Amino acid sequence: MPKLTLGQASKEGGVSKPTLSKAIKDGRLSAERQDDGSYAIDRSELARYLEAFRPKGGSVNPRPTPEENGALQALKRENELLREILERERADRLDERRRAEAEIEHLRRISERLLPAPRKAAEGDQDAGGRLGSLIGRKRTSGL
C-alpha cells in the first residue's frame, strides 16, 4: 500500500500539515523520513493517530463537502460585499459630518456679523444690578 506525503495525509485526515509535522516530531505519529527530507506516512498509522488524538466532542476538522465549500464561498462573497457597503456608509457619514460642521461654521460667522457683540456691564450701569441683581442681593448703584 503506498504511503502518504505530509500534504496528502493532511488533506485525507482533515488536519493541518504543521499539526502532523509536530505530531511526528513529538513521536505521536510514526513516519519515515525520505531522502529528500519529506515524510512518508502509512494510512493505517494516520488512522491510528486520528483516532487516538481526536479532539473531545467531535472529529478532527474534516474536509468540507462540495456543498459546504460552495456555501463557504458564498458566505465569503457576502462578507466582502457587506464590508464594502459598510465602508461606503462610513465614508458617507464622514462626508455628512464635514458638511454639517462647515454649515455650523458658516452660520456662526453670519451670526457674528448680524448680531452685536455682547457688551460687558459697566460698574455704574443700571442693568448690572437689575432684577437679577436684586434677586441675589445686589443693590443698584445708580443715583436712587
* Whole-number Å distance between alpha carbons of 80 and 64: 21
Where are the alpha helices (H) located in the chain, listed in sequence order? 6-13, 17-26, 43-52, 66-114, 131-135
* Whole-number Å distance between alpha carbons of 46 and 28: 10
pTM of the model: 0.39
Please tell me the predicted confidence (pLDDT) of residue 137: 60
Most confidently predicted of 3-7, 60-64, 136-140: 3-7
* Whole-number Å distance between alpha carbons of 54 and 23: 13
Kindly indicate the confidence band of residue 125, based on its pLDDT and cuts at 50, 70 and 90: low
Q: What are phi and psi of 105, to 5 degrees?
A: -65, -40
pLDDT digits (tens, 9 = 90+) for 11-55: 988 889 999 999 999 999 999 999 999 999 999 999 999 988 765
